[in-house]
Amino acid sequence: MIHFSDMSRRVYSVNPVEKANRVEGAHKKTQIEKHGRETFVDCPGIFDYKNTGWVITAWDEIKVYCSAEATMAYVGGQKRPSPWHTPQPTKDPMEGYELPKKGTHMSPDITDGIPPGHQCPVKRLQPLHFAAPWCIETDEEISLLLLPPTYHSDIVNDFIVYPGIVDYTSKFSTLNVIMSPKREGTFVIKAGTPLLHVIPIEKKTYNATYGPAKKPIMGGIIASCNQFYRKYVMKRSKYNLELDEE
């Protein structure tokens, strides 16, 4: 069991965690206008990926300024800091401090050499670290892929959202968003915008080999029949999500 724990006790009612399959694809409107329908669903692999897991959305407006001289980010806006609070270790664990009003700079050494992926890229990527109000509560040991919202949000046009794997236990629960603007400019991420795509994985030993084919490749009528993969191969997992205010 995973509990996305809102340490502010306020964000969950406004900008909650969402099931990935309930978040509309960023591509959908364009495809319907161009093709008359959502053609994205024609590829079962990318459609399955888009619908797997959960999505963390922006808990407040995030404004990012990026120039050759400096990169800054404000949560809630520079003039209107975020009202959300999150507890830190104190005598009373439910009092705590305010959630950071700025995106904290991480060393750009970490991201040197990563292609910005933009036609007018920044000279050097500046990774920004945002402490989310969400923590992962679990009594198990679970690993989560924290991924960019590639199919859920157009922020990937302007930002690199750095993917990673984080192991969670009863002793570690921190969830962070780390991203860099790809180009210079001023960017506003509205509250409720998808920021992270979260997918659980199992860490274990996987054995693999490579070399020439040992068995004939499946062919003929069975493998080429319409929707064969969807009907006979594709596995479907369930990613449930319920409100728990207790």
Q: Which pLDDT score is estimated for 117?
A: 86
pLDDT in tens, the chain (246 residues): 899 999 988 899 999 999 999 999 999 999 999 999 999 999 999 999 999 999 999 999 999 999 988 999 998 855 555 554 433 333 334 444 355 556 688 999 999 999 988 888 999 999 999 999 999 999 899 999 999 999 999 999 999 999 999 999 999 999 999 999 999 999 999 999 999 999 999 999 999 999 988 777 665 555 556 677 777 787 778 889 998 887
Q: Which pLDDT score is estimated for 77?
A: 53
Q: Which pLDDT score is estimated for 225?
A: 62
Full 3-state SS string of the chain: CCEEEECCCCHHHCCCCEEHHHCCCCCHHHHHHHHCCCHHHHCHHHHHHHCCCEEEECCCCEEEEECCCCEEEEECCCCCCCCCEECCCCCCCCCCEECCCECEECCHHHHCCCCCCCCCCCCCCCCEEEEEEEEEECCCCEEEEEECCCCCCHHHHCEEECCEEEEEECCECEEEEEEEECCCEEEEECCCCEEEEEEEECCCCCCCCCCCCCCCCCCHHHHHCCCHHHHHHCCCCCCCCCCCCC
pTM of the model: 0.85
* Structural contact between residues 146 and 24, judged by C-beta atoms closer than 8 angstroms: no
Task: Give the span between the Cα atoms of 9 and 125, in whole angstroms.
Answer: 34
Q: Which pLDDT score is estimated for 86?
A: 37
Q: How many residues does the chain have?
A: 246
Q: Which pLDDT score is estimated for 20?
A: 97
Domain ranges for the chain, please list them: 3-27+54-204
* Structural contact between residues 199 and 150, judged by C-beta atoms closer than 8 angstroms: no
Task: Give the span between the Cα atoms of 222 and 214, in whole angstroms.
Answer: 20
Task: Give the span between the Cα atoms of 6 and 3, in whole angstroms.
Answer: 9
For residue 39, give the amino acid letter: T
Pick from 131, 200, 127: nearest CA to 167: 200
- End-to-end CA separation in angstroms for the chain: 15
